[in-house]
Structures are given as structure tokens and as C-alpha cells.
Amino acid sequence: MFEDVQKGAGMRLLIVCMVSAGLIAGCAIKFAGGKVDGEYVVIDLSAGTEASTRPVTYFDDVPAGGWGVEYKTSKLVLRKVPAGSFVMGSPDSETGRRPDETQHGVALRHDFYIGVFEVTAAQWGLVMGDHPLRSCRAQDVYGYDLNPVERVSYEDIRGGGAMWPADRQVGRDSFTGRLRAKSGLDALDLPTEAQWEYACRAGTTSALNSGLELEGPVYCTNVTAVARYAHNAKRERSKAEVGSYRPNAWGLYDMHGNVSEWCLDWYGAYGGGAVCDPAGAAAGDTRVIRGANWKSRYAKYVRSAAREENTPSLRSKAVGFRLAMTSPKKVAGIVPAGGLPESAVEKRSAGNSQSMVLIPAGTFEMGDTFNDGDAREKPVHTVSVSAFLMDTCEVPYRTWREVHAWSVTNGYAFDNAGMGRGPDHPVAYVNWYDAVKWCNARSRKEGLTPVYYEDAGLTRAYVKGRCDPFVKWEADGFRLPTEAEWEKAARGGAAGKRFPRGDTISQADANYLSEREAGSSSKAPMVPYDVSPFRLGHRMFERVSQMCSSPCGTFLPNGYGLYDMDGNEYEWCWDWYDSAYYANSPQADPRGPEGGKKRVLRGGAWLYGADQCRAAYRRGGNHSATFYVSGFRTVRAAGLGGKAVSE
């Protein structure tokens, strides 16, 4: 951890399906003069707190005399950073790396401005009217004014009610609120964590933005050249004047060290997959802090990829900030480094877990072609499935609650209220009957024809109690997938693969339990196709004191753009379960046996091993019971012009 940044009590880890609210075109963002013009933007603070306006100017070059004292006291200067892509996080080989730095491609599709310097005490005072250290011991006022401001919380900067990423509004009396009001720059804010790391790196891929690596995790001469940290901070109060150390290639100072810097995002684990304009977790208890500080005793905390977090109310003598401002105009053609095509990433980055994709009609070999499983996955048989639409993600708890709240006031009754580890985690603790009734409720809520009925005449929609419903297969509403539809979708169009994306799996691909042979000194995996370097539960999702689900869409999708078809939570299917069904299954659109004692569950789960994540793996579940590892996703008939749709 960064020194003097103590973790707030009650922190929980909530990771998201990677939203980009507020950074995309269409947001209500205003720039001075209605446009962005120039490599630098300067905000004049010299009139102090009584100013009626804050004049804004743009220019293209550093002043002839460089950044003099006025740009650290009475003027704020931000530099334009071009849209682009980079690999965020750190490689496994980087000295001092932490598990929460999973590398992933990021596309930032909007130009943005970011502070050349950290905001100083003088600049804070001209906006807010006082100094956060006014009650501390006297010291040289001139020197202090040129130091980065400290003891300012996230709430001081943005306001206690600020709700990023739900919206980008800030408190009227906060630092950014006051500055927005008098400058007309409605996009002024903290940088997102991705913007911060992109700006810090300035095109480098090394541990430090100087292009150099660490010589060791504690003391490092390469750090001493670019950052103020504990090993070159000689006095008790020894932050440096902003701009005292070498800037990065984009002319930004103190991205390493001096004071740690608040970012916009709630803290959460990276998903490991490519994203566009990430805005952090959808909710949480702690906000991201970056850059390390003058009290950091370890060089490893100063790295470009190093992350930390704390409660938004924290006021620390080691934490400050710099400003940023994002253009509303999206730059075309920017895709994540080493990642997915932009069209595939859009769904995930938008955080719209209710988008659906078209699964094309086709024929595939259903069952275990690797002889990994048992008789219930045999014989391998040819199946033809008609086209259908499927949710890209498992139904998240947030969406479950929205439909559930509507349904209980419209005649529906469920056996269970459902639960989730967070609003963007998949719903769990719902039985098969709950899932089926929820499908009908969602259909009705959205003006579609329900699929499930209590009577053979298909006149009474199934809304309460328990029954084996009759099905109107041609209806345009939501339903559970058949087992055959599920397996075809899981395979993602790739024939003969063990998993949705290949023949091996690791915890970089999915949330599951990486089992090891009992008593094995080498900790050999239980199955050879589990290539995860880590043992047992997914490390990113054990920080909440025990293993749990991951947010919908955390990992890369399969070839159809579907997330979490392997691991996270089991998914209810329509079919009755029969271990011998494959021997008698029809070829065209099979819908399972006529009856049985259990319903089919597919996809594996966070509490179970790699073998159960295989595309061919099948099991039955008591459809009256609830499980903390089972949820569902929905499908619809493909009568919508053959295009993917977004609900």
C-alpha cells in the first residue's frame, strides 16, 4: 500500500461489466466557446474567490520562459492528450507487481486534457478560499503554495453526493463545482483511472514513464530521478514543489510520486478483457488513488501500473489530485491494443448487460468429443438449431430487481426474491420457476408476448405458483434457452473446442475453482487442460473474504460475443434433465425429454472446477431449489430482421 493511505473499514470489491457513462458522445458536456482549440488550456484564477468568471485561453506551445510560478499559483494549465489505445496494467514479470494489475487492452476514444501539474495549495486557495493545512504548524508560505495541495478528499474535490459513474454531476460548492461554474468548462473533473495511466505512461510500456524498469522493489535510482518518494524526501514535511522532477514524454510532471492522486473511479478488479473508455466499477466503497507519494517507502508503489484505493472521505497529507477534461467528440478508428474489434467491445464497455446478439441457425456436434466426461455427455450427435437471440451476459442482479419490482405490483408472485453480490453480479438464489416467471414478467413489462402459460390453450400467462408450463415457442417474449441452444451458443461458432474460446482454460478466462490433486507436492492441476497458475478460487474475487461471483462480462467473450458461458454461475435451461437423453435426441431443435425430476443446468460456476466449465458439461438441478451458484440468461425468437438487438 501507499504510505499514510489506510484502507477504509468495510471495503468490499465490486467489479463491473466495464461502463463508459459520461465519456461518450451525447453527454451534456460544455467546453469554453463550445469547442476545444489548442494543445494547452489555461484557466485564470488570479481574481480569487470573488471572481465572477474564470477566463479561459488556449494556446499551442509552452511559453518561451517555460512554466513559471504563475502556472503553479494563479493559473491552472492542462495539456491535450490525444485519443489512443494502450495496454493497461503490468506484465507478470514486472518487479513489485500486484495481482490487481491484470493487463488488458484499453481504447480511449476521446481526446482529453490533463493537468501539467498537480493542483497546488495556492490554486486550491484561490478557488476555495482557504488552505487545507491552515491548522498545521507554520512554514514558509511561498514554498507551501507551490507544493501540491494535500488533505483534500474525493468529496472535497467533487462533492459528497457525486455519483460517478452513474452521472458526472459534482457538488456546487466542491472544487470542481466552483471551477465549472465560473469557467464554463462543464467537463472539468478528475481523470478516470484509465486516463490517468495512459497519460502517465505517455507511450511507454515500462514500469516507469522514463522508459526504465525498477532495479529493486524498495530503493531504486531510476525512481529517484523522476519522483519524490521516501528515499529522497529528507524532512518530515518534504513534498516537492510541483515540477521539480523530470516530466514524461508528454510534458506532465509528478505522475510518479510527490502526492498520490485521486481518480474518478470506484476501485474494482480489472476484467482482463479489452474495453473502450472504461469508467471503473459501477459501485463500491473506495475510490482509486494513483501515483504514490513522498511517504512511499517502496519503489514498487511508484510504478505506472500501481493501484491503491481509499474511502472518498479520506483527507491525507500524502494525497492530492490533478484535473482533467474530456472531449465529447469520439475519434473514429480507435480500438483496444491487442483487443477486440470496436463493434464487439461496444456492448461490454457500455455496461449494457441486457444487450442481445443473434445466434445464427446452424448444425453442430453436441456432446463430449474429447472423452473428458462421462456417459451423460454421450453419444456425440449432430444437432440443428434455428436462429435465436441471446443475452450477452447472465441476468445481473440489478436487472432482476428492476423487473421483479415491476412484476410484484402486476400480479406476479415468486418463490424467492433473489440475491446478488452486487448490482452488476449475476442474480442467484432463484429457482427454475422463478426464472420462468421472470421471463414472462420481463416480456410483459417490455410490451412483448409472454412465452409460458398455465393452460394448453395458451390463454393464461404463467405468473404465480409452480406448474410445468405450456410454451408458445413462436412468441416474441423472453424465455430460457433449450439445452441445445445453450451449447451451440456457448461454442461461439468454433467447432470441436473444449471451451468457448479454446481447448484450455485459466483464471484469466473465467471465474472458477482451479482444483489441484490432493497431496500433490507440485500442485498439479486436477485436469491437464486447467492451465491457471493460481490454486483454488479466483484471486480477484477472494478479496471480499471468500470466493464469489464476478460481475457480468468481466472476462473476454466467445466468438458470438457472449460472456461467462464458462464459469461464474450455472445457468438454468428449459429442458428436463435425463442423463441418457442424447441417445434418443431428435436432430432438429431438440427441447429435451417430456418429463423428469430435474431441470438442466449448464456452464460451470465459481465454486466448481475447470471440468464443469467445458461446453459439453451437463448436469441436472432440483428446479424447486435455489443455489448460490446458479442464475440464468434469456433468449428470444429471431424474428427481428436478423440483427443483434439491444433491449
pLDDT score at 230? 85
Architecture of domain 32-330: Alpha-Beta Complex (3.90)
Cell readout for 172 is 456546487
> What is the Cα–Cα distance from 118 to 324, expressed in whole angstroms?
11
Cell readout for 373 is 466426461
Q: Where residue 375 falls among pLDDT bands split at 50, 70, 90?
A: very high
27-41, 88-102, 200-214, 283-297, range with the lowest pLDDT: 27-41
Sign of CA pseudo-dihedral 461, 465, 468, 473: positive
> What is the Cα–Cα distance from 266 to 149, expressed in whole angstroms?
22
Q: Is 586 helix (H, G, I), strand (E, B) or coil?
A: coil
Q: What percent of the chain has pLDDT over 70?
A: 83
> What is the Cα–Cα distance from 220 to 226, expressed in whole angstroms?
11
Cell readout for 636 is 428470444
Q: Which amino acid is at 20?
A: S
What's the mean pLDDT in 341-369?
Answer: 66
> What is the Cα–Cα distance from 482 to 434, expressed in whole angstroms?
17
Q: Which amino acid is at 334?
A: I
What's the mean pLDDT in 442-450?
Answer: 95
pTM of the full predicted structure? 0.53
Question: Distance of CA 103 to CAs 109, 270, 271, 307, 491, Å?
Answer: 19, 8, 9, 13, 25
Q: What distance separates the 2 farthest-apart alpha carbons in the chain?
A: 87
Q: Where residue 494 falls among pLDDT bands split at 50, 70, 90?
A: confident
DSSP β-bridge partners for residue 602: 571
Tell me: pLDDT of 298 over 70: yes
Q: Where residue 526 falls among pLDDT bands split at 50, 70, 90?
A: confident
pLDDT score at 604? 94
Tell me which residue of 128, 123, 116 sits closest to 73, measured CA to CA: 123
What single-letter DSSP state applies at residue 237? Answer: S
Q: Where residue 9 falls among pLDDT bands split at 50, 70, 90?
A: very low
Cell readout for 18 is 466495464
pLDDT score at 166? 82
pLDDT score at 538? 67
Residue with cell 529517484: 224
| H or E, element range at 344 | helix 342-349
Tell me: pLDDT of 525 over 70: no
Kindly provide the residue ranges of all beta strands, DSSP E only, lying in 386-476, ordered along the sequence: 388-391, 452-453, 470-471
What's the mean pLDDT in 566-575?
Answer: 97
What's the mean pLDDT in 611-617?
Answer: 96
pLDDT score at 514? 85
What single-letter DSSP state applies at residue 502? Answer: B
pLDDT tens for each residue of 148-170: 999 999 999 999 877 899 888 99
* Dihedral Cα 461, 465, 471, 474, nearest 10 deg: 40
Tell me: pLDDT of 510 over 60: yes
Chain-centre distance for alpha carbon 156 = 25
pLDDT score at 195? 97
pLDDT score at 349? 36
Residues 621 and 575: beta-carbon distance below 8 Å: no
Tell me: pLDDT of 424 over 80: yes
Residues 260 and 290: beta-carbon distance below 8 Å: yes
Q: Which amino acid is at 13?
A: L
Q: What does the mean pLDDT of the chain come to?
A: 84
Question: Distance of CA 34 to CAs 13, 29, 31, 77, 558, Å?
Answer: 39, 9, 5, 19, 42
